[in-house]
C-alpha cells in the first residue's frame, strides 16, 4: 500500500506521512513493519496523555508560539507570523517588500490566493498584539477594584 492510499483512511495526514517518509521513518510503498508502527501511532494520535509529556519538555514561550501557529498550514505562513510578531512597536514591514522576500526565501511565485493568506496572517497578528496590549490593562483594573486588605500580605508571629 502506498502512502497516498493509506492517508485516505488514516487519522494521520498525508503531509505528516510524507514528512515521515522524508526523514526515513517509513517507506513508500509501506511495508508490514511500517503499517504496524503507523497503527500504533494512530491509536495514540491526539490523546492528551500522549501530547502533554511532549509539550512539557518545551518552554512556555515555545508552547505559546506552537499554539498560535498550529493552524497555519505552510512554513512561509509561520515565517510571516513570526516576522510580524517580532516587530518592535515603531517598526513596519511593507507588503511590497515582504512578498518578494517570501518568494525568494521559499522559492515559489505567490498567487493571488497566497497574497490573500498573507494579508489574513497580518490581520491575525495585529489582533493578537491588540489582545496582548489589553491584557496588562485588565490586570491593573482588576487589582485596583479589589479590596486593598486582600492584596496585602500580613506576617504574624
In whole numbers, what is the pLDDT of the chain averaged over residues?
A: 86
On the question of pLDDT at 36 being above 90, the answer is: yes
**Alpha carbon distance 9, 4 (integer Å):** 10
Domains of the chain: which residue ranges?
A: 3-54, 59-145
Q: pLDDT tens digit string along 74-108? A: 899 999 999 998 888 888 889 999 999 999 999 99
> If pLDDT is split at 50, 70 and 90, which confidence band does 114 have?
very high
Q: Is the pLDDT of residue 154 over 90?
A: no
- pLDDT score at 133: 81
Q: How confident is the model at residue 61 (pLDDT cuts 50, 70, 90)?
A: confident
CB-based contacts of 23: which residues, under 8 Å, 6+ apart? none
Amino acid at each position: 500500500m502506498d502512502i497516498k492510499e493509506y492517508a485516505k483512511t488514516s487519522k494521520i495526514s498525508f503531509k505528516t506521512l510524507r514528512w515521515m517518509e522524508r526523514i526515513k521513518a517509513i517507506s513508500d510503498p509501506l511495508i508490514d513493519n511500517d503499517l504496524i508502527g503507523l497503527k500504533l501511532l494512530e491509536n495514540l494520535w491526539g490523546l492528551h496523555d500522549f501530547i502533554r509529556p511532549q509539550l512539557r519538555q518545551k518552554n512556555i514561550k515555545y508552547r505559546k508560539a506552537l499554539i498560535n501557529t498550529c493552524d497555519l498550514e505552510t512554513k512561509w505562513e509561520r515565517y510571516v507570523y513570526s516576522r510580524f510578531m517580532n516587530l518592535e512597536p515603531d517598526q513596519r514591514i511593507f507588503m511590497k517588500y515582504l512578498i518578494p522576500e517570501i518568494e525568494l526565501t521559499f522559492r515559489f511565485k505567490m498567487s493571488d490566493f497566497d497574497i490573500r493568506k498573507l494579508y489574513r496572517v497580518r490581520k491575525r497578528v495585529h489582533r493578537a498584539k491588540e489582545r496582548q496590549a489589553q491584557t496588562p490593562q485588565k490586570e491593573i483594573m482588576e487589582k485596583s477594584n479589589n479590596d486593598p486588605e486582600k492584596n496585602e500580605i500580613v506576617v504574624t508571629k
